[in-house]
Structure 1
Amino acid sequence: MLKRWPDNPILAPEDVRPSRPDWKVDCTFNAGVARMGGETIMLVRIAESVAHAGAGEVRVPLLEQLGDGWRCTTRTFRTEDPDYDFSDPRVIVSRADPRRVHLTSMSHLRIARSSDGVHFTVADTPLLFPADATERYGCEDARLTVIEGRCYINYTAVSDLGIATALAVTDDFLRVERLGIIHAPDNRDVCLFPRRIDGSYWCLHRPAPLHFGAPEIWIARSPDLIHWGAHQHLAGCLGTGWESNKIGGGAQMLETDRGWLQIYHGVDAGQRYSLGALLLDIEDPRIVRARLAHPLAEPTESYELHGFFDNVLFSCGALIEGGELRVYYGAADRVMALGTMALADLWEAMGV
């Protein structure tokens, strides 16, 4: 249902300067989006890898502890090493213990600014770069939510300790205050609501159960954005098709006259990522008022079908401009793209 922007992708690795001279930019994707100060701000996930490796080698970036601090370094693997599985380009997995992995790239978060929401200028330096043990493998997939005049940044902190969700806050996108981990491993795809409801802050989150169940969307509430409780399952996988394997929150929550709109992702058995839409009750967001029966968008374009990880649409940010929904999404884990549609058409499709 999304109409692709004719000049997609709107941001590609070729548009971004590496953070280090010996690294290269592999991916520019999964950006959080907000409107502040008359600008559209994207906080883009920039995935970088080591620019040069020897024949038959893979060099991975990571943080190592040095005294009381942390510094960037690299580790080298031989591709013929039978102790590791190199089949997934995103990770190197220990065959003896599949829980022991290394990412082939390290992600940080970088600002891109636009006056029209389409043409973006990317900063040359990171806004948030991995800084401690919980971010040893990178900072990923930020969502931006303006709450009470401040912009909160929730992002995925990835390390050998697991996949957690961290929170930071900024007033100007020049200085950022890290507030720490708000959801312990394994948990990601956190989407904050832009205002209190019944005196509490609210969020969607996506725990990944180890023993039973599937990764699905939960909802929680907090008195202070740091301590979260009253956890409740909100929406699960459906059927045997596009959202049968796992689902997770996507863009920050959008307030509309019909309810709280959530643009989420659904994954099928073949690891194909599509976008869907949920509508939650405006007074009690634990109530699902409507759910789009078919995908809002699924991979069809060449930049969505082929990239660092094929067949992926993944949104971390959306905006409503007048009567138009703008969905900013990562495509094939490599580039940023834009899709639009009239809200009236979405409401009709959702039956609300």
Structure 2
Amino acid sequence: MRFHNYNVVERYEGNPILTGKDFPDAYHIIHVFNSGIIKYRGKYLMVCRCEDAGLKAYFWIAESDDGLIFTPRPKPIPMPEQDADYQKYAEINIYDPRVTQIGDTYYLMHAAHSRYDCRGALQSTKDFETFTWHGFVTDAGNRNCVLFPEKFNDLYVRLDRPLTTWDSGDMWISYSPDLIHWGRGDCIMPKSDVPWAWSKVGAGAVPIKTDQGWLNIFHGVRSQAKAHLIYQLGVCLHDLNDPSKIIKLSRKPILTPTMDYELHGQTPSVVFTAGCVVEDDGSIKVYYGGADTVQCVGFTTIDRLLAICDEP
């Protein structure tokens, strides 16, 4: 079965599903986008990336019964602002949270920016009420950190994009015995492998386990007219037992910015995912930011993603 790239992920007619106006007035939130997502005790919990009018960043949980209509909690997640390392390495911004469940613990990996460039950071929770800060888990110049939801050979596995500049980057993998100390870094997807994303590629949603391998909905970026960057979504398939091996790769994107809320905003021409939810029937809700301004959702299925990986 063949799919046009515009209907591999079908947009929700009610997009965007969250805007700054949906948050409590006292915080003056103007942007919400690139949010992580998890299903917890029957509810959809979105860990939103929010910014106020002064561009102060927040992580903020919004809840939903159906995955479409979300209500933000009264206050954002408290951050470890008294921690000396946090003050030093997250002084400018925090962004792009991804939520991965391993056992009974939910891990929040996110980027933090400072005058020393970007680093990956880690928090965890068991109830989405109290969060434990584990500190920074990458060197400078690394972002788009995404944990696989299970161990391989007793090691945690992470996708990331190290040594990146604003217009360059490849997808890497690394391993850890404890989620803090990481090594064995290896480039597994150079941007040159993705014909529609010659500027940079990086992880997006938490990988999805299937009987054929791990589906990875990633982001890819191309430059247009030299200065304009266009963010799209693609999908690849990792080997079931060795996630460093990419065995299939979509030759075209599965979602391209075409709608007004994707084309126009503080960063034009952007669709960017930090999470998805797989339902019991194999359908998938893909949550994505539009133009670095609003939060959106689209629909696809495991079968559709596997099919487009097989297309020539």
TM-score normalised per structure 2: 0.90
Query: Corresponding residue for 1:184?
Result: 139
Letter paired with 1:115: D
Separation in 1, partners of 2:128, 2:36: 13
**Is it true that 1:233 corresponds to 2:240 in the alignment?**
no
After TM superposition, the structure 1 = structure 2 runs for residues 7-156 of structure 1, keeping only pairs within 5 Å, are 7-17=14-24, 20=27, 24-50=28-54, 105-129=55-79, 131=81, 132-156=87-111
Change (3 A) 1:258 1:285: same
CA distance in 1, matches of 2:220, 2:80: 28
Higher helix share: 2
The alignment covers a number of residue pairs equal to 293
Q: Secondary structure at the match of 1:272?
A: strand
For residue 14 of structure 1, give the secondary structure of its aligned residue in structure 2.
Answer: helix
1:275 is matched with: 233
CA displacement at 1:214 relative to structure 2:
3.5
Alignment match, 1:261: 215
Structure 1 vs Structure 2 CA RMSD: 1.7
Say whether the 8 Å CA contact 1:331–1:337 is kept in structure 2. yes
Q: CA deviation at 1:137?
A: 1.2
Q: Equivalent of 1:217, from 167, 171, 178? A: 171
**Distance in 1 between residues matched to 2:194 and 2:106, nearest whole Å:** 38
CA distance in 2, matches of 1:40, 1:325: 13
> Could you say which residue in structure 2 is the equivalent of 1:72?
none
Q: Is the 8 A contact 2:195 2:251 kept in 1?
A: no
2: CA distance, partners of 1:330 / 1:187: 20
Contact 2:194–2:251 under 8 Å retained in 1: no
Report the CA distance between 1:241 and its aligned residue: 5.6
- Return the letter of the residue paired with 1:144: V
Most deviating of 174-183 and 257-266: 257-266
Which of residues 172, 177, 201 in structure 2 aligns to 1:247? 201
Cα distance in 1 between the residues matched to 2:205 and 2:98 = 7
Displaced runs of 4 or more, over 4 A: none
Q: CA deviation at 1:18?
A: 5.0
Q: Distance in 2 between matches of 1:203 and 1:171?
A: 20
Larger Rg: 1
Hey, what's the Cα distance between the residues in 2 that align with 1:49 and 1:201? 38
| C-alpha distance in 2 between matches for 1:267 and 1:17 | 33
Q: Tell which has more relative contact order, 1 or 2 (C-alpha 8 A, sep 6+).
A: 2
Q: Is the 8 Å Cα contact of residues 198 and 221 (structure 2) preserved in structure 1?
A: yes
Please tell me whether residue 200 in structure 1 is matched to residue 155 in structure 2. yes
- Paired residue secondary structure (2:144): strand
2:142–2:164 Cα contact (<8 Å) kept? no
Per-residue deviation, residues 209-231 of structure 1 (Å, max 9, x unmatched): 46xx9411000111011111111
**Contact 1:192/1:203 (8 A) holds in 2:** yes
Deviations 1:64-91 (CA, angstroms, capped at 9, x unpaired) = xxxxxxxxxxxxxxxxxxxxxxxxxxxx
| Shift in alpha-carbon separation, 1:44–1:289, aligned structure 2, 3 A | same
Matched residue, 2:301: 342
- The question of whether the paired residues in 1 share the 8 Å contact of 2:231 and 2:256 is answered with yes
Is 2:12 the partner of 1:5?
yes
- Tell me what 2:273 maps to: 315
Relative to 1, partners in 2 of residues 1:184 and 1:160: Cα closer, same or farther, differing over 3 Å?
same
AA in 1 matched with 2:32: T
Quote the sequence identity (%): 33
Cα separation, partners in 2 of 1:300 and 1:344, compared to 1, 3 Å: same
1:240/1:350 Cα in 2 relative to 1: closer, same or farther (>3 Å)?
A: closer
Q: Which residue type is aligned with residue 350 of structure 1?
A: C
CA offset digits 1:190-247 (Å, max 9, x no partner): 110111111111010101246xx94110001110111111111110113796301011
- Distance in 1 separating the partners of 2:78 and 2:144: 18
Structure 1 unaligned blocks of 5 or more: 51-104
CA gap of 1:19–1:134, structure 2 versus 1, over 3 A, is farther
Q: Could you tell me which amino acid in structure 1 is paired with residue 144 of structure 2?
A: D
